[in-house]
Amino acid sequence: MDEPVQKMEKDCSAIVDAQLPEIEAAAKNGQLSKALEQLLTLEKQTRSSADLVSSTRVLKRFIQLSFEAGDWKLMQEYIILLSKKHGQLKQAITKMIQESMECLEKTPDMKTKLELIDTLRTVTDGKVYLEVERARVTRILAKIKEEEGNVNEAAEIMQDLQVETFGSMEKREKTDFILEQIRLCLCKRDYVRANIIGKKINMRYFKEADVQDLKLRFYDLMIEYSLHENEYLSACKHYRQIYDTPSVKEDPVKAKKAVENAVLFVILAPFDNEQSDLIQRVYLEADEVDTSVYRDLLKCFITTELMRWPMIEQVYGPTLGQNTALGGNDEASRKRLKELHNRVVEHNIRVIAKYYTRITTKRLTQLPAGVVSFAKSKHPNEVLNEWSQDINALLGLIEKTCHLITKEEIIHSITKVI
């Protein structure tokens, strides 16, 4: 929440208009020290008068004169000095810091740039009204560290800031900052923290039309995390979100790629109710793009028919091999290819289980037991109860049979007497 603006006691604009030209002239004539002393006197007047506009002009002029003189040490000294002045207006300090940040890209060397960054981070530390400026400077520092190869240090620098709590930062910039935190965590292979930071983003924000680029960046990062954790169903969901983005749907190449990956990962996901439901949804989406090979493969898993792995390899192998998730030479790609084989076997077992309760291993030679039973295992008490019921039924039949035999004998005896 913005703090109330302090009421101005005196308008110093006329004084500033009169003295600034003299101060600038002195600085150009090599009298920088004299010019800065006069500027300090002027700064005290504007600060005492609570004149925001004039104070801002004066504070920014300290930075400009130091920059024009090429004295970066002096600039840093005045940044620290002026930010500590009692009664200095916060809005004026903010403008001074922003003016200093514009000089970062104009520093003569990296050493000077890092020194100025360090000064700015020191001045902005712990000041809520400078939280946005501190975040921006911190991001610049993290980028420098990453370019130097210090990814871990860059990630730690970024993680020090909890931008989700910044009320003065715009939502787009805040989301962009969090995405950068996630990216650096993934770069340093800190997957746990990347997942935690990812949950700070509100998914509803991605429904806005002007943030599609941020949405795609987010889901690309989440896919990287999901694949590392072998969470294939999550990866499928992320690709579906990518496909559901207008800018992707308008691009046939991107749309096809998104749907193909959604198909692949829903197939690789372990079977359960959610996977079974999602596979049907993905199949409908596969009809919307030109991806006949992936759609036909998905249909094999939907249809209650047996599949032969050699046939799958022969028909779909060349196309699947072009997918980076399966066609790479790394261990992860080989593991996913093995998972695909396992899913084919699991599908076949589910198909067989629909028609058989028991089957010999002649058709399932890879299983060690002589007989495979698909019946649900029963508790011993249930077995005893069933056995007791069977005995009772048997005794009932015996008793009924005995009655029938006795009846026949009586009838036969009566017939003989007659």
pLDDT digits (tens, 9 = 90+) for 310-333: 899 999 989 988 988 888 788 988
Q: Among 9-13, 54-58, 352-356, 414-418, where is mean pLDDT lowest?
A: 414-418
Q: Among 86-90, 392-396, 412-416, where is mean pLDDT lowest?
A: 412-416
Q: What is the pLDDT of residue 412?
A: 76
Q: What is the pLDDT of residue 357?
A: 80
Task: Pick 363 or 384 by higher pLDDT.
Answer: 384
Residue 37 lies in a domain: yes
Residue 245 makes CB contacts below 8 A (sequence gap 6+) with: 212, 215, 216
Range of 10-14, 167-171, 175-179 with top mean pLDDT: 175-179
Angle of CA points 353, 350, 336, to nearest 5°:
155
pLDDT digits (tens, 9 = 90+) for 107-146: 999 999 999 999 999 999 989 999 999 999 999 999 999 9
- pLDDT reading at 181 higher than 50: yes
The answer to whether residues 154 and 176 touch, using CB atoms and an 8 Å cutoff, is no
Residue 39 lies in a domain: yes
pLDDT digits (tens, 9 = 90+) for 20-32: 888 888 888 888 8
Backbone angles phi, psi at 64, to 5 degrees: -65, -45
The answer to whether residues 100 and 63 touch, using CB atoms and an 8 Å cutoff, is yes
pLDDT confidence tier of residue 297, bands split at 50, 70 and 90: very high
The answer to whether residues 69 and 105 touch, using CB atoms and an 8 Å cutoff, is no
Q: Mean pLDDT over all residues of the chain?
A: 88
Amino acid of residue 5: V
Tokens of 188: 């340093």
- pLDDT reading at 3 higher than 80: no
Mean pLDDT (whole number) for 256-280:
93
pLDDT digits (tens, 9 = 90+) for 326-374: 887 889 889 999 999 999 999 988 888 888 787 776 666 554 644 556 6
Task: Pick 5 or 182 by higher pLDDT.
Answer: 182
Q: Among 29-33, 101-105, 217-221, 247-251, where is mean pLDDT lowest?
A: 29-33
- pLDDT reading at 195 higher than 90: yes
Residue positions counted in the chain: 418
Q: Is 158 exposed, middle or buried (0-12, 13-18, 19+ CB in 10 A)?
A: buried
- pLDDT reading at 1 higher than 60: no
Q: What is the pLDDT of residue 360?
A: 73
Residue 9 lies in a domain: yes
Residue 55 lies in a domain: yes
Residue 88 lies in a domain: yes
What is the torsional sign of CA 392, 396, 375, 363? positive
Three-state SS string over the chain comes to: CCCCCCCCCCCCHHHHHHHHHHHHHHHHCCCHHHHHHHHHHHHHHHHHCCCHHHHHHHHHHHHHHHHHHCCHHHHHHHHHHHHCCCCCCHHHHHHHHHHHHCCHHHCCCHHHHHHHHHHHHHHHCCCHHHHHHHHHHHHHHHHHHHHCCCHHHHHHHHHCCCHHHCCCCCHHHHHHHHHHHHHHHHHCCCHHHHHHHHCCCCHHHHHCHHHHHHHHHHHHHHHHHHHHCCCHHHHHHHHHHHHCCHHHHCCHHHHHHHHHHHHHHHHHCCCCHHHHHHHHHHHHHHCCCCCHHHHHHHHHHHCCCCCCHHHHHHHHHHHHCCCHHHHCCCHHHHHHHHHHHHHHHHHHHHHHHCCCCEEECCCCCCCCCCEEECCCCCCHHHHHHHHHHHHHHHHHHHHHHHHHHHHHHHHHHHHHHC
Residue 86 lies in a domain: yes
Task: Pick 156 or 389 by higher pLDDT.
Answer: 156
Q: What is the pLDDT of residue 415?
A: 62
Mean pLDDT (whole number) for 389-414:
84
Residue 411 lies in a domain: no
> Using CA atoms, how far apart are residues 26 and 33, in angstroms rounded to an integer?
9
Q: What is the pLDDT of residue 373?
A: 61
> Using CA atoms, how far apart are residues 180 and 374, in angstroms rounded to an integer?
50
Domain that includes residue 33, residue range: 1-124
Residue with tokens 């007791």: 388
Q: What is the pLDDT of residue 133?
A: 94
Residue 44 lies in a domain: yes
When divided into structural domains, the chain yields a total of: 1
